[in-house]
Structure 1
Amino acid sequence: MNEINPLTIKEENIEKASKALKAMGHPLRLKILCVLGDHELPVMDIVSRVGTTQSNISQHIDILREKEIIVSRRDGSKILCKVRDPQILNLLEAMQNTFCPV
């Protein structure tokens, strides 16, 4: 891995990354991200795959959206969600490889 020079990183970017990682650190939100993967899914599909209430999922989706981890859009009566940036999926994959080896 390349060394990261902290002097070249803007303080506001460090703060944003820290808040995003904190949001992703909640077990339910991490599960939502794993369920989404590289797919765009309706909220109700996320609810059924994660196994909690729609209101609970919606609260966690709001947090992930606020931290710019996921994006959502309306399609008729459905709200569709997806991970905003493929680099986030790379981060999830690295975490899975590190903490959940097969």
Structure 2
Amino acid sequence: MGLLKNRMKNDERAKRTAQSMLQHQEHIEVAARALKAIAHPLRLKMLCVLGGDELCVQGIVSAVGTSQSNISQHLAILRGKGVLRVRKEGNYVFYRIGDDRIMQLVGMMREVFCNPAAPF
């Protein structure tokens, strides 16, 4: 019984959040831009590689397996949309996910869309 009650509480909270966003067009636009940035397969893979870590461009290139120029272009997009944060140390630039909730979002997308039982 507690599980059902908890789910109903979460559903109600999600509904209030969605209704609140409807009242703020700028919130909808910011969220849509960030989701569009995340939606590219290579950028999503890069987020998964970063996870809770901080990596330099070469570390991301090694993990993802594409060119440095390609990775740099995609990093610039994610950074520009506020998805990533950077830290410079000497000649190196280190990237990390800007908000831990982004990885929660990636995890939820996996649960919803990559579940073998999902109707998609």
Instruction: State whether TM-score is above 0.5.
Output: yes
Runs of 4 or more, structure 1, over 6 Å off, are none
Q: Give the aligned length.
A: 102
2:89 partner amino acid: D
Residue in structure 2 matched with residue 22 of structure 1 by the alignment: 36
CA distance, structure 2, for counterparts of residue 5 and residue 62 of structure 1: 29
Q: How is 1:19-58 mapped onto 2 (pairs within 5 angstroms)? A: 19-58=33-72
Give the number of the structure whose residues are more often helix, by fraction. Answer: 2
Structure 2 counterpart SS, 1:4: helix
CA RMSD of aligned residues (A): 1.5
Q: 1:101 to 1:5 in 2, by over 3 A?
A: closer
Given the alignment of the two structures, is residue 8 of structure 1 paired with residue 16 of structure 2, yes or no? no
Tell me by how many angstroms 1:41 deviates. Answer: 0.8
Tell me by how many angstroms 1:78 deviates. Answer: 1.1
Tell me by how many angstroms 1:7 deviates. Answer: 4.3
Identity of aligned residues (%): 46
The structure number with the bigger radius of gyration is: 2
Structure 1 unaligned spans of 5+: none
| Greater relative CO, 1 or 2 (CA 8 Å, sep 6+) | 1
Structure 2 unaligned spans of 5+: 1-10
Q: Larger deviation: 91-100 or 18-27? A: 91-100
